[in-house]
Amino acid sequence: MKNIFDLEIQNSSLDGKITAGFERLSQVFRVLLWEKAKNHDLSPIQIQVLIFLKHHSKNKATVSYMAKEFNLTKATVSDTVRILEKKSYITKSVNENDSRSYAIELTAKGLEMVLLTEDFTDPLFDLIRMVPENEKNVLWKNISSIVEQLHTLQVINVQSTCRNCGYFLQQNDGNYCQLMNIKLETNDIKLDCIDHKPVRL
Ligand code: SF4
């Protein structure tokens, strides 16, 4: 019996309290996003897609990639893209090399909306910035490890992190990035890297 919503179980160990704490933290993003969504007549996923498009390269601006990124079905993302296009926040153009796929780009109106909404994580970011550096290192080491293990268990997708990058090298004395030619310390490990190279299986 591992139900952390049973308060006796939750409060009888740190394991239960930490798991419950993560559950509370997951609510933070939902609450903050809904606040923005309400103010701008958009849904949370519509805002997330717009923000994603501003900060990622064209080859990632596809329904398939975003479906994995947000752990949603392609049908849901497709629908989101359709509505955003209807509201003139994005444009779609057919991929010259593959008529079955299309490139998605932000319009000027879309970019304006991103600038109004992308600060939704600020309340948490401001708190994290005040944590001492050594404690942040421990926090990041644990969070990145938990995220990686959840990815391995196929609970969530993490597409552009160091551990599944073609430039990542694990050796006895540590981890390396072969692109930047550096040893990767804990605070160098990235969750979403602009230079990530997918590993060909
Ligand atoms: S290129 Fe980026 S994701 Fe890949 S190993 Fe280097 S830092 Fe990590």
Give the residue-averaged pLDDT of 122-137. 96
Give the residue-averaged pLDDT of 83-95. 92
Q: Residue 189 C-alpha to ligand 1 middle, in angstroms?
A: 8
Over residues 143-162, the pLDDT tens digits come to: 999 999 999 999 998 889 99
Q: Ligand 1 within 6 A of 179 CB?
A: yes
Side chain identity at residue 89, one-letter code: Y
Q: Is residue 172 domain-resident? A: yes
Supply the CATH number for residue 41's domain. 1.10.10.10
Shared-domain flag, residues 85 and 114: yes
Q: Whose CA is nearest to atom 3 of ligand 1?
A: 162
Q: Is residue 200 domain-resident? A: no
Residue 201: the pLDDT is 55
Domain count, the chain: 2
**pLDDT tier, 73 (very low <50, low <70, confident <90, very high otherwise):** very high
Q: Which domain holds residue 152?
A: 135-188
Q: Ligand 1: which of 178, 179, 182, 194 to mutate, judged by most atoms within 8 Å of the beta carbon?
A: 179
Shared-domain flag, residues 107 and 143: no
Q: Ligand 1 within 6 A of 158 CB?
A: no
Is the confidence at residue 1, as pLDDT, over 70?
A: no
Q: Which of 22, 1, 77, 23 is nearest to 45 (CA)?
A: 77
Closest ligand 1 atom to residue 166 Cα is 4
What is the DSSP code string of the chain?
---TTSHHHHHTSHHHHHHHHHHHHHHHHHHHHHHHHHHHT--HHHHHHHHHHHHS-GGG-SHHHHHHHTT--HHHHHHHHHHHHHTTSEEEEEETTEEEEEEEEE-HHHHHHHHHHGGGGHHHHHHHHTS-HHHHHHHHHHHHHHHHHHHHTTSS---S-GGGBTTEEEETTEEEETTTTEEE-GGG--SS-TT--BPP-
Residue 17: the pLDDT is 96
Q: Ligand 1 within 6 A of 191 CB?
A: no
**pLDDT tier, 200 (very low <50, low <70, confident <90, very high otherwise):** low
Shared-domain flag, residues 17 and 108: yes
The token pair at 183 is: 């040893």
Q: What are phi and psi of 167, to 5 degrees?
A: -90, -5
Residue 172: the pLDDT is 86
Q: Residue 4 C-alpha to ligand 1 middle, in angstroms?
A: 36
Q: Is residue 198 domain-resident? A: no
Shared-domain flag, residues 14 and 106: yes
Is the confidence at residue 71, as pLDDT, over 70?
A: yes
